[in-house]
Structure 1
Amino acid sequence: MRKLRNIALLLVAFFATLIISLCLLYNYCIGSVDSKNDKTILVEIKEGNTSSDIAHILKEKELIRNEIVFKIYLKINGINDLKAGYFELNQSMDVKSITEKIRKGDTVSPNAITILFKEGLNMRGIAKTISENTNNTIDNVFEVLNDKEYIDSLIENYWFLTDEIKHPNVYYPLEGYLFPNTYTFEDKNVSVKEIFKKMLDEMDMRLSKYKTDIDNSNYSVHELITLASIAELEGITIEDRKDIIGVFLNRIKKSMKLDSDVTTYYALKVDMGERDLSDKEFNTYNAYNTRGPNMNGKIPVGPVSNPSKDAIESAIYPNSHNYEYFVADKNRKVYFTKTINEHDKKVNELKKAGLWIEW
């Protein structure tokens, strides 16, 4: 009798463990594939596609974890009315969000286009990307940027755009504020203003969560975005960027130049890697060039790229330390030092090791 009771208890424990494990697996499989990745993926579901077809399409696009579990989810929830069309989805969406969007028929045009604006692109790069993917020319983009009434209307509509973007020395008023991401548009006839609106709306959504901390900062939103735009190009990891911003703030406090090469390249409208700059170019005054004269303790007049979320966070929440110098090697590993002697020593070490960057 006792033996039978023990067997029964073992069976109960086994099935209880099995049920709990299956429930955990199910919940895992209906969750988002990557909660931090909200880059748009365009998905086509055709008329007549079965639940198996749709599950296969979503799995191929890496939007769900498991086809069988997806079909089980549809069965459990009595979902049999998924619509056909083109849908904007992303990996941060869970199965519930994906199915709700498809059920609602929240579609985009069959002629829809997706455009990837890479992190760290400057306005010239954005204009080139727009011209390559739409019926707009590079000149069309700059015509819009030179429309003063249009820029004024944007300042009225977006809290983070201020009169600082209209400074006479600023090259492009929206530089830094067009959030890098993958966007979907109706077709290639999309206007430049429609593209800018979508990117500015995205920046608004991203930046608004930090508004209180930005308002409490010692720096304006324009200055923070400018610092973020430099850190975007100087470092790769968020920790490196936070340390880089920390270096800049330490130098500003001591009325030192930021001495960032990327600002000099931007000032000259030369792309990084295009060519080496001369000493004369580095030492020429420009409101962007932090290596030039009269730039002690100053932040450039405006952003030099369109920074990522990580770079923006780095500017708002920088690391506090005593470093005043940094240098990156050809593999973009960043080294931080406290004195000019330590900095020069590190530069010499990189040169001897063949890690010094040469264009």
Structure 2
Amino acid sequence: MWRNIASNALSLFVVIMVVAIGMIAWGKSQYTSPGPLAEAICLRVEKGSNFSRVANKLTEQGAISNATIFRLGVEYSDKKSALKAGSFLVNEGASMEEIVDVVTRGGASTCGTEVVYRIGVLAAEVQVRELDPATQEYEITAEFKPAELEGAAPETYTKVRNESDTRYRIALAEGVTSWQIVDSLNRADFLAGEVGDVPAEGTLAPDSYEVKVGADRATLLADMQTAQSAILTEAWDTRAPDLPYDSPEEALIMASIVEKETGVAEERRRVASVFVNRLNQGMRLQTDPTVIYGVTKGQGALGRGLRQSELRSETPYNTYIIDGLPPTPIANPGKAAIEAALNPDSTDFIFFVADGTGGHAFAETLDEHNRNVAKWREIEAERANQ
């Protein structure tokens, strides 16, 4: 009898073991196989949350098929204490294993709300954007210009300011001046710290900078200076031969002029070639943006055309009167303009004028240039009569 009992017990144990192994294999398969999510979602993990709450939220959103297997997988992978707060993009068909990796990896949130503070040549603008997980595109939910704000900021912005997973970016446009950058950063209510002197013109790199609430303004400016210095150093080290610059600083001045003269990417090196040719031939640069800088000192846009008196006025920046380069850059040029100034096209052009398309018509001779100017005047007249 005992032999039969032992035999039956052994058989039962084997069955239990087989079932257990099968259950483990099935659970592992469920944990690592593609999940049921039919469309990407944005999973928000609150500060102080835990994997039980995350599992329930994922179940409600149809991202996982079994909350228990999800929790057991977390335990087995020893990631229970690694949960991060934030908003995370969970892609279509993501497995439980992939979701756990997303919410424990750390780093910045990958979806949700983003505040972009754009510092442009004409004005600074705040945009509140929300990522649509399905299309992977941002939708603007609020926007305003801090300098023109009367009263409180939009409620949408005020609401996201209090959410811990909101991301912030400072986006500098090419061609903004150092004064404009400092003035705009001082208006950014999510930054902290005092800014002393305005950094030297041209030394701040136009780019997109991710910041946290309470980031120090002076530290951010120092990061921008470090980035611009690295860009200029690399471009100077790979510059074309026989350029009319004695130092990287002079190249930076030229880059700022190129930046202000054209917004067409493919024209930058051609525009640079015109000014290099003029310097090599002893001609004056005769460029309006430098004259404008002499009037505004970089403190905002002129907002009108130049007067004849300003074109005749003797300032260090009036390149219709002075020889060579002005004493400093007239804006903060981007990387492409710096590279154009140090590796310009090889041309014989010494003139250019607007062509009505947003670009310019280039010329080697004064006669050809005058014909291009006449065409531009006709275009201006036609537009004025429309």
Q: TM-score, normalised by structure 1?
A: 0.60
Structure 1 runs of 4+ with >6 Å offset: 355-358
Structure 1 CA distance for aligned equivalents of residues 203 and 107 of structure 2: 29
Structure 2 counterparts to residues 179-190 of structure 1, below 5 A: 179-187=205-213, 189-190=214-215
Structure 1: where are the runs of 5+ without partners?
A: 1-42, 60-66, 91-108, 146-172
SS where residue 114 of structure 1 aligns? strand
Partner in structure 2 of residue 281 of structure 1: 310
* Distance (whole Å) between structure 1 residues aligned to residue 372 and residue 302 of structure 2: 22
Which whole-Å CA distance do the structure 1 matches of 2:241 and 2:216 have between them?
Answer: 37
Residues 174-204 of structure 1: per-residue CA shift (max 9 Å, x gap): 21110112222332x4433212112123224
**Shift of residue 329, structure 1, vs aligned partner:** 4.3
RMSD: 3.8
* Counterpart for residue 173 of structure 2: 118
Residue 253 (structure 2) aligns with: 226
One-letter amino acid matched to 1:203: Q
1:177/1:337 CA distance change after superposition, 3 Å: same
Q: Is 1:302 aligned to 2:328, yes or no?
A: yes
Whole-Å separation in 1 of the counterparts to 2:351 and 2:240: 28
User: Separation in 1 of the partners of 2:330 and 2:383?
Assistant: 20
Query: For residues 272 and 216 of structure 1, what CA distance do their matches in structure 2 show?
Result: 35
Over 3 Å counting, the alpha-carbon distance change for 1:81 and 1:58 in structure 2 is closer
Q: Secondary structure at the match of 2:201?
A: coil
* 2:378 matches 1:352: yes
Deviates more, 1:243-252 or 1:329-338: 329-338
Query: Is 1:119–1:306's contact at 8 Å kept on the other side of the alignment?
Result: yes
Going from structure 1 to structure 2, the CA distance change for 1:305 and 1:356 (only over 3 Å counts) comes to farther
- For residues 110 and 99 of structure 2, the distance between their equivalents in structure 1, rounded to whole angstroms, comes to 22
C-alpha distance in 1 between matches for 2:186 and 2:383? 31
8 Å CA contact retained: 1:330, 1:356: no
Contact 2:168–2:210 (CA under 8 A) maintained in structure 1: yes
Q: Which moved more, 1:232-241 or 1:310-319?
A: 232-241
Residue 144 (structure 1) aligned with residue 169 (structure 2): no
Equivalent position of 1:237 in the other structure? 264
- Whether the 8 Å contact between 1:214 and 1:221 is mirrored in structure 2 is no
**Aligned twin of 2:45:** 46
Q: For residue 29 of structure 1, what is the aligned residue in structure 2? A: none
**CA positional deviation for 1:285:** 2.0
Hey, what's the Cα distance between the residues in 2 that align with 1:304 and 1:132?
23
Q: Output aligned runs, 1:1-359, within 5 Å.
A: 46-47=45-46, 48=54, 58=89, 67-68=91-92, 71=94, 80=101, 82-83=103-104, 87=108, 113-134=168-189, 141=195, 143-145=196-198, 173-187=199-213, 189-214=214-239, 218=243, 219=245, 220-269=247-296, 271-272=300-301, 274-291=303-320, 293=321, 295-296=322-323, 298-329=324-355, 331-354=357-380
Residues 43-80 of structure 1: per-residue CA shift (max 9 Å, x gap)? 995253759599x9548xxxxxxx347x36x85x8963
1: distance between equivalents of 2:43 and 2:99? 22
- AA of the residue aligned to 1:307: P
1-structure distance, mates of 2:171, 2:360: 27
Distance 1:320 1:247, change over 3 A: same
> Rg: which structure is higher?
2
Q: Is the 8 A contact 2:232 2:252 kept in 1?
A: no
Partner of 2:152: none
Count of paired positions: 254
- More relative contact order, 1 or 2 (CA 8 Å, 6+ apart): 1
Distance 1:80 1:196, change over 3 A: closer
Which structure has greater strand proportion? 2
How far the C-alpha of 1:311 sits from its partner, in A, is 0.9
Deviates more, 1:336-345 or 1:79-88: 79-88
Mapped partners of 2:44, 2:106: distance in 1: 5
Measured in 2, the distance between the counterparts of 1:272 and 1:332 equals: 19
